[in-house]
Amino acid sequence: MESPKKNSSGVGVSVSSFFQMPLHYPRYTEKDYQDMPEWKLDGLLKEYGLPTHGDLTYKRQFAMGAFLWPNNFFQMPLHYPRYTEKDYQDMPEWKLDGLLKEYGLPTHGDLTYKRQFAMGAFLWPNKS
């Protein structure tokens, strides 16, 4: 099991290579992202479990798309899907693709990656 880390807000987060639906979003403007150095973009994207591949222009566009509204490809959901981990593990690829598209999330990768991505985005850790 990975050790908990703290994000820039001091909140404990688990280190994962998969997207985690955040409780708080960065408060940068479009200009901030356009002027942001690559090392800072990489850190911000990593903090939210988002990919850091691609050139600087791609990373800036990805960050603006993920964190700025309304003209972006990610939409903060009013309701989260109510699937269980088993539901995601058994879900056919076409249904996963539709679910991810519905929330403006990427649909690239193989079926295993998509399942893990969806579980990371939509399942909250059980606190017993």
Contacts of residue 108, defined as CB under 8 A and 6 or more positions apart, other chains included, come to: none
Q: How confident is the model at residue 53 (pLDDT cuts 50, 70, 90)?
A: confident
Percent of the chain with pLDDT over 70: 70
More confident residue, 103 or 14: 103
CA distances 81 to 22, 25, 84, 90, Å, are 15, 20, 9, 15
Contacts of residue 47, defined as CB under 8 A and 6 or more positions apart, other chains included, come to: 7, 8, 13
pLDDT digits (tens, 9 = 90+) for 11-21: 444 444 555 55
- Check: pTM over 0.85? Answer yes or no: no
CB 52 within 8 A of CB 42: yes
Q: How confident is the model at residue 43 (pLDDT cuts 50, 70, 90)?
A: very high
The Cα–Cα gap between 104 and 65 comes to 10
